Structures are given as C-alpha cells and as structure tokens.
Amino acid sequence: MDIQKLTKEEFPPLLKEMPDAPKKLYYRGMLPTPELKLLAVVGSRRFTQYEKEVCEKLIGELSGAPISIVSGLALGIDALAHKKALEVGLHVTAIPGSGLNDAVLYPRTNVPLAKMILHSKGVLISESEPDEKAALYSFPRRNRIIAGISHAALIIGAKEKSGSLITARLAMEYNRDVLIVPGSIHSASSKGPHHLLKNGAGLVESGDDILEALGIQKEKKTTQNTPLSKEESALLNILQTPLGKDELVAQSNMPISEIDITLSALELKGIIEHRMGKIYLNT
C-alpha cells in the first residue's frame, strides 16, 4: 500500500490544535473518518495478566462504537490493543516510531500486525520520513502525536518513568481526557496511573466509562421480537419497577434456583441489568 503525505492543512482537526504540531505527516491505509472518536490506548511493555485481561475486556466492550483505537505499534499493551480492536471490528490508527516503509517499520516483530491493520482498512501514521529508522528521539516525538490526535488517552499500567506517562502528561497539556485503569497497590506498573488518578484523571471500570468520556451515547439494547419463556415473562411483569433480589423472590412463586437461571437468561438477552443492588429493566 502506497505511502501518502499530509500537509498541515490536511491534518485531523485535533492535531492542528497542538502547539508543537508536526509540519507534515505520512500515512498508509485509510485515515479515520470525521465521525470517529480517537482513543489512545497505551501501557506497559511487559504487561501483567491483569493488565492484559483489562485491555481486552475494555476494548471488547467498545465493539460497534464509532471509535478508532490509537497506539504506537510497540510491544506490550500497544500491540495488544491493536489486535483486540481488529478482532472486534474497530478502526485502528497505529503510529510507529519509525518511517512507514516495510524495510524500516519498528518493531520488526510487529510488521505482520502492521500489515493486518492495513488489510483491515486501518492506518499507519508517522512524522518520520518513509525510510527513516527508529531512534531514541523518535519515540517521545511519536508519543506527542498519539496524545495530540486522540480525543482521550486510556492508560493501562505504567511505571513511574515510562513512555506511557509521557503520553498521559502530553494529553493533559493538550486538554485531552486521561482515563486510568486502577491496578494493584503492590505493582510497580500501578504507581504511574495511580499518581494520575490523584491528579484528576478519570477512573475507568468499564467500556461505558470510556464511551461517556468520549461523549458517545450508549446504544440501548432492544427487546423487540425477543422470544420469552413463561418464567421470563412472569419475572418481567413483577419487574415493572426496580426491585432487589429478595423483593423479587418474595413477590414470585418460583424457586430461587429457577429465578437465578431466569434472571441470567434475561440479562444475556439484554432485557435487564443489575445496578446498585437492584434489578432494572433496560428501556
């Protein structure tokens, strides 16, 4: 796929706001369309199992939303975020710390991933000349583009001195939302994110928190044409107002084990949800 050049006038709107915006950019693939919100996802190079599970869970919960996942094609959380985004059908924007020709793409182990991104109608973007190899100075330079092009930055694990924290700091300077996944107080990779939380970053526990930060309205689940069993219909008749489980049991003639099975089925169908100890109908 051919490398093309963007002048500053052709930049995505948020990049034009940067005080230190690049003078030009190169890209391969399909740039994110204007209706997409760009979410930077960055974190530990050597991620924990918890960080892996959180990254995959949160991006999976964004499936179907008008979002492009932005990261640096690096090892660790960057690559994991790109792969999960591709898996669930989200647009991907990868910004490596090298030029975009296949011969210099860095890291070399992620060249197949870069090709997957292009095949899936994502995009590779770089300030570096097409044949320019990655260098120590190119990664902080790349991080500012990741922060500047994105509407918000999600940080999943970062030691106190790391590229992820540089990206987070830049995002704050550019007046972008910074979102944090809390980690274990015993983990070194939690120190950076927890410091950001103390200084006003947003706490993320679910994909809905990310959608809210990006100003994307959650799509309401429909119950139309959903076949219901006799037990499901009976519980729905009782749940016209939110109830706790004990209240539901008291008003129903069904055994508790059957209520549990029926509630699980209704939740899987998207008809009910549990909030603050009560069961609500999705309207």
Q: Tell me, yes or no, whether 275 lies in a domain.
A: yes
What's the structural domain count of the chain? Answer: 2
pLDDT at 45: 85
Residue 110 counted as domain residue: yes
126 and 21 part of one domain:
yes
* The predicted structure's pLDDT at residue 159: 66
Q: Is residue 222 part of a domain?
A: no
What per-residue confidence (pLDDT) applies to 56? 93
In the chain, the percentage of residues whose pLDDT exceeds 70 is 94
Q: Are residues 110 and 250 in the same domain?
A: no
In this structure, the answer to whether residues 57 and 135 fall within a common structural domain is yes
**43 and 127 share one domain:** yes
By C-alpha distance, which of 82, 94, 80, 92 is closest to 50?
A: 80
**CATH number of the domain residue 84 falls in:** 3.40.50.450
Residue position matching structure tokens 């084990």: 257
As given in the structure block, the two tokens for residue 93 are 């924007």
pLDDT tens string 4-20: 999 888 888 898 888 88
pLDDT value for 154 = 95
Please give the backbone phi and psi of residue 272, each rounded to the nearest 5 degrees, phi first.
-130, 165
Identify any residues that bridge with 43 across adjacent strands, giving them in sequence order. 156
* pTM greater than the 0.85 cutoff: no
Summarised one tens digit per residue, pLDDT across range 97-146 is 999 999 999 999 999 999 999 999 999 999 999 999 999 888 989 999 99
> What angle (nearest 5°) sits at the alpha carbon of residue 201, between those of residues 212 and 176?
70
Q: What is the CATH number of the domain that holds 271?
A: 1.10.10.10
In a domain, 220, yes or no: no
Same domain for 249 and 138?
no
Handedness of CA 53, 56, 58, 60 (dihedral sign): negative
Same domain, yes or no: 125 and 174: yes
Domain extent, residue 159, equals 4-214
Strand 24-29, strand 123-126: pairing: antiparallel
CB atoms < 10 A from the CB of 63, how many?
14
Residues (pLDDT < 50) of the chain are none
Which long-range contacts (C-beta less than 8 Å, at least 24 apart) are formed by 45-50? 45/74, 45/75, 45/76, 45/77, 46/76, 47/76, 47/77, 47/80, 47/156, 47/157, 47/189, 48/157, 48/183, 48/187, 48/189, 50/183, 50/184
Please tell me whether residues 267 and 206 are part of one structural domain. no
Residue 63 sits in the same domain as residue 140: yes
> Which among 183, 214, 245 is the end of a domain?
214
The per-residue pLDDT for 107 is: 94
Do 229 and 82 contact (CB within 8 A), yes or no?
no
On whether both 122 and 256 belong to a single domain, the answer is no
SS3 39: strand
